[in-house]
Amino acid sequence: MTATTSTVEDITVVTAEGSIDSKTAGEFERTALTAIQGQREVIIDLTQVDFLSSAGLRVLLVVYRQLKAKNGQVVLVGTSEDIKDVMSDTGFLSFFSTVDTLAQGLALLQAK
């Protein structure tokens, strides 16, 4: 798993690749929490993530809480159907905006 941060059109984007499990969730969390410092919104690009365990869900929960406290928003890009189903099953899905592409995610946040 790798997690990287970039800024696209003034919006912070965290891009993860690979499998997010109990071994790798810590790195995903560190990258995401560093990236959202001083931010109200973030895009998390999961297009290249093929597996997300409950350890990964916990990271999304922590990121969500930090931004929600600032009245902000988390947009998930490219979440696989399998991962979406798990998020739906655990009541997570409705708290996140999900879009298919990074362009859609940027448009969503810029429209605000």
Partner 1 sequence: MERITFAGTLDALDGIRRVVKAQAEEAGLARKPTYNLLLAVDEIATNIITHGYEENNLSGPVDLLTDCSNECFTVVLEDEAPAFDPLHHQLPTDELFARPLEERPIGGMGIHLTIKGVDKFSYEYLGGRNRNIFCMNVPELPPAP
Binding site for partner 1 (CB under 8 A): 19, 21-23, 51, 53-55, 57-58, 61-62, 64-65, 68, 82, 85-86, 89-92, 95
What is the DSSP secondary-structure string of 46-73? EEEEEEE-HHHHHHHHHHHHHHHTTT-E
Token pair, residue 43, equals: 């895009």
CA–CA dist 50, 82 (Å, integer)? 9
Q: What are phi and psi of 51, to 5 degrees?
A: -150, 135
Shortest spacing between CB 7 and partner 1, in angstroms: 26
Comparing CB distances to partner 1, the nearer of 47 and 53 is 53
Comparing CB distances to partner 1, the nearer of 8 and 92 is 92
Structure letter (DSSP) for residue 93: G
Comparing CB distances to partner 1, the nearer of 43 and 63 is 63
Shortest spacing between CB 8 and partner 1, in angstroms: 26
